[in-house]
Amino acid sequence: MRLLCRAERHFDALAYSFLVIGQSMIPIMSRCTMEMIERWSTKDVKKHEIDVFTELKPSSADIIARTAFGSSYAEAKQIFELQQEQLLLEGKIQSRPFIPAVRFIPTAFNRHCWRVEKSIEELTLRTIERRTQCRKLDQHEDAQDDDLLGLMIDAMEDRGVERRTMTMGMADIIGESKTFFAAGQETTSTCISWTLMLLAAHPEWQERVREEVRTACDAVGFPTSDSLHRLKLLSMVLNESLRLYPPLPIMLRMSKKDVRVGKTLVPKGTVMMLPIIAFHHDQRYWGPDANEFRPDRFRDGSSKASQSKSSVFLPFSSGLQFCIGQPFVLQQAKIVISAILLHYRIIISPQYRHSPIFAFILQPEFGIPLLFESI
């Protein structure tokens, strides 16, 4: 299965299906968000401090696990936890000097890496088997069988992959779920955290967005799929946050052949870095206030914004390599931020130290502690 095959992505029915599924994820996102708010509200004080950067991570992982793996959520959580451990282990490997073939020596560290890898494979295989069994017996534990896992199993079956040759299909599924987890979890929670920091730092915008949310949301306080489109101010704020603090601040590309970029000849095989964050702060495109928080630049019809958007506003990349999670992120961010603003007034904590650092994702080095005041 080539869900993420870059060249084919535009034509890939699976990627398209994922976007369609996105429309039905709103109730799941709302439920996870409500659970988080309920956890916070047990703190029996009118004003309390929360490091949103730390607090939002598990909730984002929950949302991805529930939406991508639906009824197999419990197994997905375990797989994601193991994948998170695997990412940390990979980070350790990357930071060590490279010694050829050292990965194959059964040191304690390597044996641990292999155990983690094996557990992921076993759990994934068990999950797929359980799901295919349920399908055969028509026993869906949950109506949400048209989730990402369901689509991947469909793709495997369409290709005629039998149980005995399933290893190949399974490797694909493991790869895809790893990408989703890695690509989706931290980026989303980081984007929401920076946006909350900006709203806390700009109380006038916070009030305006809160008012918009009050008008657009249902009685329970969540946007419906219709009202999400009406959150124009919040969309502008999110865009401005993604411009100032793009969670993926650089992208890497390798030239497949000799290519001329302007006056420079780039030989085949050259790795190029696209400094997205530099484009987003370039005064030539955004004006002298490029480093300031001015969501108005994304107001519909603003000529400067529409010019800039198409060429140098690239938080989700563009063209064939665009981020297929974009609609998912924007929905989730709107739901989480709306719920928070309806329940709390947020204020920058005196503990906050502004220090964005690049650790694959543009992260706040010391977290984002905010004061939450119940409304």
What are the residues binding ligand HEM (CB under 6 A)?
Answer: 4, 6, 64, 179-180, 183-184, 187-188, 191, 247-248, 251, 315-317, 321, 323-325, 328-329
**Which residues participate in the annotated binding site for heme?**
323
Q: How many CB atoms lie within 10 A of CB 143?
A: 9
The DSSP secondary-structure symbol of 123 reads H
In contact, 339 and 37? CB cutoff 8 Å: yes
Q: Which of 183, 159, 208 is nearest to 337 (CA)?
A: 208
* C-beta nearest to ligand HEM: residue: 325
Is the alpha carbon torsion for 243, 328, 190, 34 positive or negative? positive
Residue (161 or 248) nearer to ligand HEM, CB? 248
Nearer Cβ to ligand HEM (49/154): 154
Q: How far is the CB of 247 from ligand HEM (least distance, A)?
A: 4
Which residues contact residue 165 at a Cβ distance below 8 angstroms, ignoring those fewer than 6 apart? none
Nearer to ligand HEM, 144 or 188 (CB): 188
The whole-angstrom separation of Cα 269 and Cα 253 is: 9
Q: Which of 127, 86, 82 is nearest to 110 (CA)?
A: 86
**Shortest Cβ distance from residue 100 to ligand HEM (Å)?**
26
Residue closer to ligand HEM by CB (options 328, 344) is 328
Tokens representing 158 are 């369409």
In the complex, least distance from residue 179 CB atom to ligand HEM, rounded to whole angstroms? 5
Nearer to ligand HEM, 68 or 200 (CB): 68
* DSSP β-ladder status, 251-254 and 264-266: unpaired
Q: Nearest approach, Cβ of 112 to ligand HEM (angstroms)?
A: 26
Q: Which residues are part of a known binding site?
A: 323
Find the shortest distance in angstroms from Cβ 63 to ligand HEM: 9
Residue number, 18 or 222, with CB nearest to ligand HEM: 18
Q: For the CB of residue 87, give the shortest distance to ligand HEM in the complex, in Å.
A: 14
Nearer to ligand HEM by Cβ, of 64 and 371: the residue is: 64
Q: Shortest gap between Cβ of 279 and ligand HEM (angstroms)?
A: 12
What secondary structure letter does DSSP report for 252? E
Q: Which residues, at least 6 apart from 49, have a Cβ–Cβ distance to it below 8 Å?
A: 349, 351, 369, 370, 371, 372
Q: Smallest distance from the beta carbon of 249 to ligand HEM, in angstroms?
A: 9
Question: CA angle, 249 as apex, 247 and 250 as ends, to 5°?
Answer: 135
Long-range interactions of 312-319: CB distance < 8 A, separation 24+: 312/279, 312/280, 312/282, 312/285, 313/239, 313/243, 313/279, 313/280, 314/246, 314/251, 314/274, 314/276, 314/279, 314/280, 315/242, 315/243, 315/246, 315/247, 315/248, 315/276, 315/280, 317/248, 317/251
Nearer to ligand HEM, 124 or 190 (CB): 190
- What b-and-e string marks burial along 21-58, b requiring 16 or more CB atoms within 10 Å of the CB? bbeebbebbbebbbebbeeeeeeeeeeeebbbbebbbe
Parallel, antiparallel, or unpaired: how do β-strands 361-364 and 369-374 relate? unpaired
